[in-house]
Amino acid sequence: MKRVVGCLVGVAVLAGISWSQPEEPESQAGLFLLVEKGKCGYIDQNGEVAIEPQFDMAGSFSEGMAPVALGGVAGGKWGFIDESGTMVIDTLYDAAGGFSEGLVRVSRKGKWGYIDVSGKTVIEPQFEMAYDFSEGLADVEVDGKWGFIDKSGKMVIEPKFYRVEGFSDKLGAAVVEMGGKWGFIDTAGEWVVEPQYDWSHGFSEGLAPVRVNGMWGFVDKAGNVVIEPLYTDAFRFSEGLAPVANENASWGFINKAGEMVIEPQFDRAGMFTNGLARVETGPDWGYVDKTGAFVWKGPQ
């Protein structure tokens, strides 16, 4: 959920492609962020321009819409476009995320709430921070603590965690206090896998990345180690592959057997969606296919 190379997503304040930790899939629409001369647009899966660069900041497509900002990288306002590039929700917001389960988080006057696909406010801005809905729940921050709300805005898991990562496969990653151990909770807020990891990201495709003694591996939903902690960093699986970093801080991709499918060669790497993953290498960034070949590349 958080952050640099092109057009920033959500709470971005500088022009640059936003890196998340863990990196979210780039696009659910087959359109991918593009930046040229400080403006953001979108390319298709073949690397062809689909929406001309024209926005000051932009985020990935999800559920047919993407957040975009006009008015500069400092103080610009966010709205939403459809896959034709038409503005369908006006630029009214200080920050915005991507649609998930029919709702999207937006910020006004320093507080976060949620709107629907028509732009109607469904949950009034009231949270210090908020993230996407997943499996009917969204993680929100209240008075410095994190809990979960449902789509009516009702708090269903009280804010009692220092940090959380949203639900996937009916489990969410959580830690109670700063410097504490991470574990996994169910949708009632009860521990399913007791806190034992130095850090953890959420589940995806049945596995979750966890850090143990400074190294990252992957566990299943029972907390069993499936891929040994051999990596200095790791993100979630997507389309059967997960980005991981070696001891030289070079990123590649492994499969669920822990086999290196794309050799470490990138400075940063994100998750695959629609057959492409965003990567950074030297002075350039772009998108690679599952062979590791660039489909599109440009300067940072």
What tens digit of pLDDT does each residue of 156-184 get?
A: 999 999 999 999 989 999 999 999 999 99
Q: Is the pLDDT reported for residue 140 higher than 70?
A: yes
Sequence letter at residue 252: G
Q: What φ, ψ does residue 104 adopt, rounded to 5°? A: -140, 140
What is the four-CA torsion angle of 11, 14, 16, 19, rounded to 10 degrees?
Answer: -40
pTM of this prediction?
Answer: 0.88
Segments making up each domain of the chain, as ranges: 1-99, 101-161
**pLDDT at site 28:** 56
In the predicted structure, residue 15 carries a pLDDT above the cut 90 = no
Question: How many CB atoms lie under 10 A from the CB of residue 154?
Answer: 9
Higher pLDDT, 83 or 23: 83
CATH match for 101-161 among 3.40.50, 2.30.29, 1.10.357, 2.40.10: 2.40.10
